[in-house]
Amino acid sequence: MDASQVRKRMQQGQCEIDELLEVLEQRHKFIRGRVYNLRRRCGKTTCRCQTGALHSSWVLAFPEQGHKRMRTVPEDKRILWQRMTERYRRFRRARVKLVKLFAQIVRLVAALEQKRTVPPSE
């Protein structure tokens, strides 16, 4: 890859950085975790859940001190919490992409330096 191709890839990386920063700079609040519908058996031998009609409730699963915790989601907050957890996942994906992109740009800068460096003339 010649120096012009390296510069072109660096410019493309800069455009990607701008797009990622738009996601990261948003001011919306988010919740770390995931909202989902938990279906389970209660354990009572005479309950309907023993025949397949499982109990259902919406929960927020989130990490806390290295363990997975769950919290029941209030029905009136379910959609809001789903949006907020999605914002968190979007933020984390953008952050990961940004870190990888910066590493790639650093490699491109090193390649550009190598292409432009000439030995001293004697």
Reading the chain (122 residues) residue by residue, the pLDDT tens digits are: 788 888 899 899 999 999 999 999 999 999 999 999 999 988 888 898 888 889 999 999 999 999 999 999 999 999 999 999 999 999 999 999 999 999 999 999 998 898 889 888 86
For the full predicted model, state whether its pTM sits above 0.85. Answer: no
| CB atoms near residue 81 (< 10 Å) | 19
In sequence order, the 6+-apart residues with CB closer than 8 A to the CB of 79 are: none
Domain regions of the chain by residue span = 3-116
According to the model, what pLDDT value does residue 7 have? 87
Give CA angle at 38 (34, 43), nearest 5°.
145
Encode pLDDT of 22-34 as tens digits.
999 999 999 999 9
Q: Which of 26, 42, 35 lies closest to 58 in space, CA to CA?
A: 35
